[in-house]
Amino acid sequence: MSIVIIRQDDKIELWKEALQRAAPDISIYSYLEEHPADEITMALVWKNPKGTLSQYPNLEYIASSGAGVDFLFEDETTPKNLPITRVVDAMLASDMSEYVLAAIFSYLKRFYQYKINQTKSLWKPEQYRRIADYTVGILGLGALGTALAKDLVRFGFKTQGWSNSRKKIDKVTAFAGKDELAEFLGSSEILACLLPLTNATAGILNKELFNQLPKGAFVINAARGGHLVDVDLIEMLDSGQLSGATLDVFHQEPLSSDHPFWQHEKIHITPHYASVSDTDSVVPQIIENYRRMQHGELLTNLVSTDKGY
C-alpha cells in the first residue's frame, strides 16, 4: 500500500517531504519517478494529466490536494466508483477570506480608480462609501463561503449568501436554490463567487445574472474560470451595469497574454493564488484519511460524486 502524488507544477517534492515527515512508515512516490504501479492504493492529485489515474490497477482512493475537484470530474478517465476527498482546511478558508476582503476594501476605498488616476498623474479625490453602505452577497456558503460570511459580519457588512441547502449563520441572510437566486442578487452590491464548478454552476456568472444585480455592482470571482462568461462580463462592465471585477480564476490558466481582460481597466487580475493549500496545515488530514482507508473506516471530506462537489 503506497501513495502516489500527481500534479503538474513544481510542488511534488514539497508535498512528498511533508507527507514523509508526517508518516515515515508510508511509501510515497512522485508519479514522475519509477514506482510500483500495482502497490499504489491512494493518489494525491492536483490537476493531474488526463489518463494518469487509470494506470493504477489497485487504486482505492483519490485525494484532491485542493478544495476543488472539478478537474477530476472533467477527466473521463478518472476511475469511477472510487471515493474522492478534497481539502477542507481552516487556513485555506481564512486565506480566501483575506483575498476577498482585500478586493472589497480596495473597491471601497477606490484604490482601483486611484491606480488608473496614477497612470495619468491625476490628483483627484474619489467619493467613497463605507462598510455599512454595502450588502455583500456570496454565491456558495460552503467551507470557504461560510468563513468569508463570518468575517464580513465581523467587519460590519450586511451579508447574505446563496447555496443549495439553506444555511444558518449568525447575522447572515441565507437564500437557497434557484427560486431564491433573483431575490439574493437584487440586493448584492458586491458579489463574491465561491461555488464549486459543476454542470449546474458552469457559466452562472453571465449577462442574465449580472443584470439582476443592482446597477454598478462589483464582482469577485475566486472560484473557477468556468463560472464566468467572459464576453458577458466585458459587455456588462462597458455598459456600466457592473463597476468592476476582481478575477483570480480563468477558463485557461495561465490567462493568455492576448486575452482582453488584461487591458480592461475595470478588471483586476490575480494568478489563481487567492488561497493555496499549505502542506503543513493540510497533510494531517491526508494521512488521517490514508490510515482510515487502511482500516476500512469512513473517510473525511468526502465529495459527492452525484453532486460533483
Site for ligand OXD in 52-111 (CB under 6 A): 66-68
Distance of closest approach, residue 88 Cβ to ligand OXD, in angstroms: 10
Distance of closest approach, residue 67 Cβ to ligand NDP, in angstroms: 4
Site for ligand NDP in 46-85 (CB under 6 A): 66-68
Which residues have a catalytic role annotated?
224, 272
Of 63, 85, 80, 53, the residue nearest 15 (C-alpha): 63
The mark string for 218-257 relative to ligand NDP (x by CB under 6 A, - otherwise) is ----xxx-----------------------xx--------
3-state helix, strand, coil in the chain (%, to 5): 35, 20, 45
Site for ligand OXD in 19-58 (CB under 6 A): none
**∠ Cα 289 291 296 (to 5°):** 90
Q: Cβ distance 285 to 300 under 8 Å? A: yes
Of 201, 265, 264, 205, the residue nearest 229 (C-alpha): 205
* Residue 5 touches which member of ligand NDP, ligand OXD, none, C-beta under 5-8 Å by kind: none
- Residue of the chain from 64, 65, 85, 163 that contacts ligand NDP (CB under 6 A): 163
Element (H, E) at 161: strand 158-163
How big is the site for ligand OXD, counted in residues (CB under 6 A)? 5
Q: Cβ distance 218 to 244 under 8 Å? A: yes
Site for ligand OXD in 272-301 (CB under 6 A): 276-277
Site residues for ligand OXD per CB under 6 A? 66-68, 276-277
